[in-house]
Amino acid sequence: MSGREKKRIGVVYNPAYQKVGLQSYVSLLKKYGFTPTTKGPYQVIEKPHSALQKLVPKKRRKPPKQALQKLEEDGKEGEVTAQDRQNDAFYTCPVEIGTPAQTLNLDFDTGSSDLWVWSTELDKQTKANAGNHNIFDPKKSRTFKKLIGSSWRIQYGDGSSASGDVGTDNVNLGGLVVQNQAIELARKVSPQFTTSTSDGLLGLGFGNINTVKPRRVQTPVENMITQQDIEKGEELFTCYLGSWRDKDEDDQGHSFYTFGYIDENVTKRSGAEPYYVPIDSSKGFWQFQSESATVNAKTIDRPGNTAIADTGTTLALVDDNLCQEIYSQIPGSEYVSSQQAWLIPIGVPPDSLPTITVAVGGRQIEIQKEDYGFAPVSDTMQYGGIQSRGDLGFDILGDVWLKAVYAIFDQGNKRLGVVQRIEEEQNVNPPE
């Protein structure tokens, strides 16, 4: 391991990705299944009992089902369709699978734990509509082995699903080869995946939420540890997300992941050592204590609050009280129910924007002002990057927060490390 060439896995940006704030929010409503606590078109509605169920005595009836519905302008309830959600990936990462290697661009997601790929086992029509997707062919890999009797099915909260069977093969992550890694081969995928640019997903959460049956399989990082591909103290991966806004900074806006090492160039540039906080992996997430926040140096106590670091999420979601505190300090901001979101004016200079931090354990981490705005909704207003988590019991800290840190997911020591990133200037020009 010590002689392995340490290579970054570069992030490939999706030029076709269209940022739409409300679609991103609806995807999170579906992914995490929380109930909105703000006014807007998307609400959880209690569905009435069927005529047959009404014949059952009240004491024996099942509780009414609840479902996310879209309320039309005339007040009628409608289904939440694929068009209401963000169905594409903002970025993907190239991963080599098999021998000889086949390269697929996968969505790295710390909020899930399956490694699944487009495969030649998909039906002819799906493959015909695959467009630019790379499709893994297990027959072309001499190291592929079928796992007889194993299957998988993922039903994502956004309504999409994928399923198939399972095999094992070699997976190369930045020069680190994981042998006999479980690969979930897609036989069926929802139409939403056809329009996405990713060739599958690589889950970086914990294995207790893996969907393979009859027995769960280990994630790539878990296998790295089991196979001793990573030395003690290096049983980790890291995430560095840049932005088009940072093209004039030292990092030139580049984004990357590393496996099995911490990039010292990043820590040296920041001038700080990583700060670590213990994580709770019982739900499969990278979940940690976050019991306070500050807005312009005013401390907002949040006793018992936790947060998850989620690379598969674009926005940051926090409780309504913190949202109110944040947007009350941004000149011209307002809550607009038709967008179900807080909006902020385009062009507010950085000096007029508040300084916002959220706690990671005992350390306050500052969110970059340039990420307060997520996507334009008009010529003058933009969708805020921080929105309501509804009745969800924890914060979801996605790219809006991750762009402010170098994140170290230390799986061997069950802890999350963060390094606050320092930038010369805040580019608050409208999002591209």
**In CATH, what number is assigned to the domain containing residue 161?**
2.40.70.10
Band (161; pLDDT cuts 50, 70, 90) = confident
CA–CA gap between residue 206 and residue 214 (Å, rounded): 18
Band (81; pLDDT cuts 50, 70, 90) = very low
- The whole-number pLDDT of residue 317 equals 98
- Judge whether 59 lies within some domain: no
Q: Are residues 210 and 265 in the same domain?
A: no
Select from 9, 177, 54, 200 the least CA-distant residue to 115.
200
Q: Are residues 259 and 314 in the same domain?
A: yes
- The whole-number pLDDT of residue 69 equals 67
Tell me the pairing of strands 306-309 and 395-397: parallel
Q: Are residues 257 and 400 in the same domain?
A: yes
- Judge whether 388 lies within some domain: yes
309 lies in which domain range? Answer: 236-420
Q: Are residues 281 and 137 in the same domain?
A: no
Tokens describing residue 23 = 């679609």
Contact 400, 315 (CB under 8 A): yes
Q: Are residues 338 and 276 in the same domain?
A: yes
Does residue 80 register a pLDDT over 50? no
Q: Which residues contact 232 (CB under 8 A, 6 or more apart)?
A: 412
Q: Which residues contact 414 (CB under 8 A, 6 or more apart)?
A: 278, 279, 281
Single out the residue in 226, 250, 283 at which a domain terminates.
226
Number of domains in the chain: 2
Q: Which residues contact 231 (CB under 8 A, 6 or more apart)?
A: 1, 2, 260
| Overall average pLDDT of the 363-389 stretch | 95
Contact 120, 140 (CB under 8 A): no
CA–CA gap between residue 154 and residue 346 (Å, rounded): 39
CA–CA gap between residue 299 and residue 296 (Å, rounded): 8
Q: Are residues 316 and 336 in the same domain?
A: yes
428 Cα distance to chain centroid: 23
**Burial class of residue 137 in the structure, from the number of CB atoms within 10 Å of its CB (0-12 exposed, 13-18 middle, 19+ buried):** middle
| Overall average pLDDT of the 291-311 stretch | 97
- Judge whether 299 lies within some domain: yes
- The whole-number pLDDT of residue 198 equals 86
Does residue 188 register a pLDDT over 70? yes
CA–CA gap between residue 131 and residue 56 (Å, rounded): 50
pLDDT tens figures, 262-278: 999 999 988 889 999 99
State the pTM of this model: 0.89
Q: Are residues 217 and 293 in the same domain?
A: no
**Burial class of residue 290 in the structure, from the number of CB atoms within 10 Å of its CB (0-12 exposed, 13-18 middle, 19+ buried):** buried
Q: Which SS3 state, helix, strand or coil, does residue 44 take?
A: strand
- Judge whether 10 lies within some domain: no
Q: Are residues 345 and 392 in the same domain?
A: yes
- The whole-number pLDDT of residue 30 equals 81
| Type of residue found at 39 | K
CA–CA gap between residue 1 and residue 5 (Å, rounded): 9
Band (427; pLDDT cuts 50, 70, 90) = confident
Single out the residue in 194, 226, 258 at which a domain terminates.
226
Band (83; pLDDT cuts 50, 70, 90) = very low
> H/E element holding 206?
none
pLDDT tens figures, 91-144: 789 999 999 999 999 999 998 899 999 999 999 999 988 888 999 999 999 999
Q: How many CB atoms lie within 10 A of CB 61?
A: 12
Catalytic residue numbers, as ranges: 109, 310
